[in-house]
Structure 1
């Protein structure tokens, strides 16, 4: 992986050299500019992943440079501004226009390095990160990630359950990656999307001339997955007749193509997924009991996203990085109010809804920073507004805290103890914050009605 490329704009020779040297020691590639115009020229040709700029420069100001970049370029790297001359108007203006941060000198250069690592996605040391796994940071997903390597190479059949959109196929692919063998096939099939008239041909394959239009031999899903993994999504939608044939294929590990005369070996690992209660389907006679016990040797459950809120922001940051990579654009940042809303929203559509909302926001939003209203367009513009006083950062963070508390209280129907526990503070601290922000104890409940 290539080192992240930074643009440092600082006319003070001591400060500029210190920043450049420190970031190079941290593994970054650095271009150091002492004026705005040379930095602007470099921005046109160099693929910077972040810009660190002083406000006061000998030619144009950092503010003017940023305004020029926002008005003339479709995408820009994150800008972090540093200055010894804090200004209320400048701070508010820059943050509202999408600057990543605004900090005053003297500052902790180590904290700045950590911030730039987050903005660029550059190798944050594992010890600096919270406990996490490839599946998530919440305890249920970490337990799943720990269990999979122990069972992936031993279980011939696994049933994955969970609501629609929770990431059942993601778990299936994770299991496949931990199974022994390299470059083995992974065949994913949505059972509800295959027309009933084509089920047998699609699953078993067919010989040339087996029916009208069969102008060549075709391998079915069972054969395509031989040696690897067959993932049957929404297996509860499979008709009873096909369930019988699937059971036989699982028992014998051999199949016969439509129109064929000889058996063909089909040895695959089966992962089935469903958002239905298969035990209830068995009771209603809509799912075969023998097949249910055959595929339910090992059951893994993926919780709904609302039941693992710790994963929301972790997923959101990963998703925007993937979206940015696909679009060939710098990674967009989240405004604190957007993070607060993401963390407190109920996510009825689970991870699929999160992905769809973020993809739309990244495509439509021209700014570097996503506001809550970019992701939840139906909720209107940002509220509350940032006021201009003598302490811009304090008021900026206070506005974000206000939005976070109101959203958390609404999510928990105004229950103080439950809200305090959910956001990790004491009841007394929550009451004090509510009094400071003039949040009435009953107002969240009224707003939720």
Structure 2
């Protein structure tokens, strides 16, 4: 007998890549999913089974999601909430369905996290917070929340996408996922930066080559897909791969099979694939710069890493870790009070990587035990000195700007804004009241 406490979803989607991506994601979120590829199959099931919600594409090979909904309404049935997936050209149809009683719609290309949030709201379902509090990624709420999801992802997610600015620690998270999976801890972790390899060499780097495949190929060589077999492959800056390579990459991601350059034999690989980028892949899809099918194939699970300026609790925490690393090398230093204030007052455009370099440089070049602001920043970088009162005002101003920016990015939606900031909705509301910020939209 099925567990009635687990929400039961009806997924109506004929596209195999999209359907598999949605199925994988919803199952990872803890849902039971009934996937239908045709209107006829879905029509019979919705009238017969007790679904918590229905997620349906508008266009189907033998009809449409719209027809399913209308025909069910005509039967006078009590229907579960319907959420429709639509392209920009069909938004008017989706709006018309809302007027008939549909719950919501989302347009392609969409953010899977946003879709999961919408479905969770329709089902009244929320993922229980993880009790694990041993965060290796930072002490801010945002990074603790990411850390809490990693053990489950390490066990169940074969493909992930990590996004965030350069230097935020995307590879660190990928390595942590690899470490947490007991099946891969003694297997290889292979990392490659797609943006650092020329287009002419990228295919051979990814898939390997046979002897004589091109000038200089004096022997066969395994590519990173084969090197990572049994472990984890980390493809950094996936957004920088050319369109011509994305076609071949899609096949490797989808089938877990590759063919070496100059070869004809398919080689199966069994690995976890973690992709990362600082680019906005959804925008690139809309502009035709990134394949939509590859986007949905690698975007089953997305981990969004906020920049260091949006999680200031982590600045001194990381600084102390880097100081301990330097102490192990014989350079034992500590931050002066003004040095700490200078770190907190800096914008950190290079994120954690920039912070590490600042600590390392200052530790090596400073003869005394204390690191002052002038040692931490090169000329022109150092923030203006502040006293305690000014620092508090400065940090409050930073907090206000970050909250306003987050509200703007999330169209004034308090729930999504709170989630992006790593705080509760109540905490966000209290901060907005204190800072006299009114909701947007």
**Residue 347 of structure 1 corresponds to which residue in structure 2?**
348
Tell me, yes or no, if the aligned pair for 1:341 and 1:404 is still in contact at 8 Å. Answer: no
1:176 to 1:415, Cα distance in 2 relative to 1, 3 A: closer
**Residue 238 of structure 1 corresponds to which residue in structure 2?**
241
**Residue 278 of structure 1 corresponds to which residue in structure 2?**
281
1:295 to 1:340, Cα distance in 2 relative to 1, 3 A: same
1:241 to 1:151, Cα distance in 2 relative to 1, 3 A: same
158, 182, 192: which one aligns with 2:195: 192
1:205 to 1:374, Cα distance in 2 relative to 1, 3 A: same
Equivalent residue runs for 1:218-229 within 5 Å: 218-229=221-232
Equivalent residue runs for 1:346-385 within 5 Å: 346-378=347-379
Equivalent residue runs for 1:91-110 within 5 Å: none
Tell me, yes or no, if the aligned pair for 1:333 and 1:368 is still in contact at 8 Å. Answer: yes
Tell me, yes or no, if the aligned pair for 2:331 and 2:363 is still in contact at 8 Å. Answer: no
Instruction: Give 1:320 deviation, angstroms.
Output: 1.6
Tell me, yes or no, if the aligned pair for 1:409 and 1:416 is still in contact at 8 Å. Answer: no
Tell me, yes or no, if the aligned pair for 1:132 and 1:138 is still in contact at 8 Å. Answer: no
Question: Secondary structure in 2 aligned to 1:183?
Answer: coil
Distance, in Å, in 1 between the alignment partners of 2:134 and 2:187 is 27
**Residue 412 of structure 2 corresponds to which residue in structure 1?**
none
**Residue 42 of structure 1 corresponds to which residue in structure 2?**
none
Q: TM-score scaled to structure 2, two decimals?
A: 0.58
Question: Secondary structure in 2 aligned to 1:143?
Answer: helix
Distance, in Å, in 2 between the alignment partners of 1:220 and 1:241 is 18
**Residue 179 of structure 1 corresponds to which residue in structure 2?**
181
Distance, in Å, in 2 between the alignment partners of 1:408 and 1:164 is 28
**Residue 250 of structure 1 corresponds to which residue in structure 2?**
253
**Residue 404 of structure 1 corresponds to which residue in structure 2?**
388
Structure 2: runs of 5+ lacking an equivalent: 1-132, 403-441
Instruction: Give 1:189 deviation, angstroms.
Output: 0.9
Instruction: Give 1:167 deviation, angstroms.
Output: 0.8
Tell me, yes or no, if the aligned pair for 2:345 and 2:383 is still in contact at 8 Å. Answer: no
Tell me, yes or no, if the aligned pair for 2:207 and 2:258 is still in contact at 8 Å. Answer: yes
Tell me, yes or no, if the aligned pair for 1:409 and 1:415 is still in contact at 8 Å. Answer: no
Tell me, yes or no, if the aligned pair for 2:346 and 2:382 is still in contact at 8 Å. Answer: no
Instruction: Give 1:344 deviation, angstroms.
Output: 2.5
2:324 pairs with 1:318: no
Distance, in Å, in 1 between the alignment partners of 2:319 and 2:250 is 39
Distance, in Å, in 2 between the alignment partners of 1:351 and 1:214 is 39
2:172 pairs with 1:170: yes
Instruction: Give 1:337 deviation, angstroms.
Output: 1.1
1:382 to 1:344, Cα distance in 2 relative to 1, 3 A: closer
**Residue 7 of structure 2 corresponds to which residue in structure 1?**
none
1:227 to 1:377, Cα distance in 2 relative to 1, 3 A: same
Query: Whose radius of gyration is greater, 1 or 2?
Result: 1
Higher mean displacement: 197-206 or 253-262: 253-262
Aligned residue-pair number: 270
Question: Secondary structure in 1 aligned to 2:285?
Answer: helix
Tell me, yes or no, if the aligned pair for 1:176 and 1:229 is still in contact at 8 Å. Answer: yes
Provide the aligned C-alpha RMSD in A: 2.6
Instruction: Give 1:329 deviation, angstroms.
Output: 0.8
**Residue 106 of structure 2 corresponds to which residue in structure 1?**
none
Instruction: Give 1:405 deviation, angstroms.
Output: 2.9
